[in-house]
């Protein structure tokens, strides 16, 4: 893994994150496929410190979804099914389709 991608794994305040947030941040970066690791991991790293308890609950549910399905939905190869759709997954979808998604902030266009 490149140093830039590795540096994104931890947020600036990672040592200050509570154990639940640290665990979810780790899980977001270890999905199974590199593409999903970058999309989900980068999104979580940017926002984990400010997620509400409800968003953390939703994130836990998202991280339980099959990796292949999540990648297809976030890359818009297939629509997100209504039974798994939610506000956090919708935010993730928008950010994952922005130019430079998955790249460290200093490399984004």
Contacts of 16 (CB under 8 A, 6+ apart): 49
Residue 90 has pLDDT above 90, yes or no: yes
Q: Each residue of 41-82: pLDDT tens digit?
A: 989 999 999 999 999 999 999 999 999 999 999 999 999 999
Residue 12: is its pLDDT beyond 90? no
3-state secondary structure of 101: coil
Query: pLDDT value at position 14?
Result: 57
Show Cβ contacts of residue 98 under 8 Å, excluding neighbours closer than 6 positions: none
**What is the per-residue pLDDT across 21-43, written as a single tens digit (0 to 9) for each?**
999 999 999 988 888 998 999 89
- Can you read off the two tokens belonging to residue 94? 């928008």
Query: Could you tell me which residue, 1 or 60, shows the higher pLDDT?
Result: 60
Give the pLDDT of residue 104.
66
Judge whether 104 and 5 are in contact, CB under 8 Å.
yes
Domain that holds residue 42: 3-107
Question: Domain with 66 in it: what CATH number?
Answer: 1.10.150.250
């Amino acid at each position: 893994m490149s140093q830039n991608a590795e540096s994104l794994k931890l947020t600036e305040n990672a040592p200050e994150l509570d154990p639940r947030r640290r665990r979810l941040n780790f899980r977001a970066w270890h999905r199974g496929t590199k593409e999903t690791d970058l999309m989900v991991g980068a999104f979580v790293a940017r926002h984990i410190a400010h997620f509400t308890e409800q968003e953390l609950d939703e994130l836990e549910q998202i991280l339980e979804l099959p990796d292949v399905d999540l990648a297809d939905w976030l890359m818009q190869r297939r629509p997100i099914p209504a039974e798994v759709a939610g506000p956090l997954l919708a935010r993730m979808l928008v950010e994952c389709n922005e130019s430079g998604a998955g790249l460290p902030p200093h490399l984004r266009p």
